[in-house]
Structure 1
Amino acid sequence: MSLDTDPPTPIQPLVALRALLALRRDPQDTRQVFILGEAIKGKSPFTLLNRFRRDPMGQERLRERRKLIDTLQRTDWLASLPEGTLGRTYHAFLAEENLSAQGLVEVSMASGMTMPDDGSDRHFIGRQLRDMHDLFHVLSGYGRDELGEVCVLAFSYPHQGTRSFALIATLGALHLSRRLKVSGVLGAVWQAWRQGRAASWLLVQPMESLLVQDLTRLRQQLNIARPTRYLAVLARLSAKGHAVARPPGV
């Protein structure tokens, strides 16, 4: 059997509910994001697979089969890149947040959701989805604060079609609009989705090559707009005395 031909996984509402409740208790529990994604994915991986196979750049990525994680783990090389490049900004973002490219791999494995490497297209695409998460943060300009995490999921959804991203982004936006008690939260998440939808399809980009490019010019090239509404909310929170981290590359 191959992941490309396996039947879709039935949706598991109870598993999804437990993961959502766990995320409400701890929004930083990335393991629950993987569990929720598996519980409600249904046919969505096959929709993404077909889109990948139809896209000329997607076809090229499938032929190359390059492992992005191998490049992202070259920390000395990333640190040596010129200031302002995607790779250097990504490296600084991980260092500031005490993260690593391997960290997402370990969380995915700990959740029990890692797909076997059977050489299938679906395995390759799933691995790309996992390894690109923090690059989505840097490219979009959303930080790892609670609102930034919700916004980056909203931004990512048009690219990945991951149902859990849409669900978490929607529920997270409603929750944060009540909890943060500042205006503009819903507008920030809505803008994130719209800007993600307007951007070039990031999943098929040759990321290994893009790491050496200037981030500002790269955002223009990929039609990634500045997250103005998110930044405005951070400014309002800062004015109220909340500690606010600087978003990556913004």
Structure 2
Amino acid sequence: MRQLLLRAARAGVPLLLRGGPAHPGRARPSHSEPRGRDGRGEEEEEEMEGWQQLYPGHIPTSPLQKALLAAGSAVMALYDPYRHDMVAVLGETTGCLALPNLRDKMKNHPEGYRILQERPRIRLSTLDMAGLQGLPEGSLGREYVRFLEDNKVSPDTRMPPKFVDDEELAYVIQRYREVHDLMHTLLGMPTNMLGEVVVKWFEAIQTGLPMCVLGAAFGPARLSSRKLQVLATELVPWAIRSGLNSSCFLNVYYEQRWEQPVESLRAELGILPPPAVRV
């Protein structure tokens, strides 16, 4: 299973999909299938007629294919939590209930609704990095850039969605991925395993995404006993309280808030000040 998933990830993941090509219309039927006039199997022709690529990179999948992808990506993500490609597949194939709920929260909020309409992206090509670096200390933009530099991460590493069968919901999960580093910034958490687990607890409460719940539940297995104690006594209770108390973080138009102080935005959202512990 691990080798199959590794090969699938390198090839764009669809190797796990029975009859599911990376691009509609390129499937190769088995030699035993009856073929149509163009050389495709009749059953395959009927299946592919219903396929429609809803956005660039979209790979239509059946419920069974999604279940197989979810199971395989869950195994790989638990084996290696830093396999962001597998984490991404898991989020897309298990978010069928949580994503519509998040979209509705955005639609029912003035700022969230505007985000859905305008579809902003957080990428190096859309960010004025020099301008953000020149903002005052403590501002969202300056602290976000500091986070990227200190942890040697880039917003361009976020994978585009592939398996979400709704164009608007695909944007919702893309937005979630692109503001993940801003959650680290607001919560004051680094990208080490302890910091990631804390952020996942907050995101699990906020989003209900099974991927976040699994990360929050199983991530601590890789922590030392000292860090587990800090997590259980200080960080998880704070993350849960903040997640329950805070308004939906997807309803913030961060690109228009760069100059706002981090402490001010935390207070506006309802995020409690981080505990004074070393993470």
Gap change, CA 1:74 and 1:60, over 3 Å in 2: same
What letter corresponds to residue 181 of structure 1 in structure 2?
S
Work out whether 1:180 is the aligned partner of 2:180: no
1:34-57: per-residue Cα shift (whole Å, max 9, x none)?
021123223322222222222333
The structure in which a higher percent of residues are helix is: 1
In structure 1, stretches of 5+ residues that fail to align are 235-243, 245-250
Partner of 1:125: 172
In structure 2, stretches of 5+ residues that fail to align are 1-51
Structure 1, 64-73 or 44-53: larger mean CA deviation? 64-73
Q: How far 1:219 moved relative to its partner?
A: 1.6
What letter corresponds to residue 77 of structure 1 in structure 2?
G
What letter corresponds to residue 224 of structure 2 in structure 1?
L
CA distance in 2, matches of 1:90, 1:225: 18
Work out whether 1:21 is the aligned partner of 2:75: yes
CA distance in 2, matches of 1:18, 1:189: 28
Structure 1, 199-208 or 52-61: larger mean CA deviation? 52-61
Partner of 1:213: 260
Q: How far 1:8 moved relative to its partner?
A: 9.9
- Identify which of structures 1 and 2 has the higher relative contact order when contacts are C-alpha pairs closer than 8 Å and 6+ apart: 1
CA distance in 2, matches of 1:159, 1:199: 8
Structure 1, 134-143 or 43-52: larger mean CA deviation? 43-52
Work out whether 1:10 is the aligned partner of 2:56: no
Q: TM (normalized to structure 1)?
A: 0.75
Partner of 1:76: 130
Q: How far 1:114 moved relative to its partner?
A: 3.6
RMSD: 2.9
Larger radius of gyration: 2
Report the identity percentage. 28
Q: TM (normalized to structure 2)?
A: 0.68
CA distance in 2, matches of 1:164, 1:137: 17
CA distance in 2, matches of 1:14, 1:65: 31
State which of 97, 120, 136 in structure 1 corresponds to 2:183.
136
Structure 2 counterparts to residues 23-102 of structure 1, below 5 A = 23-69=77-123, 73-102=127-156
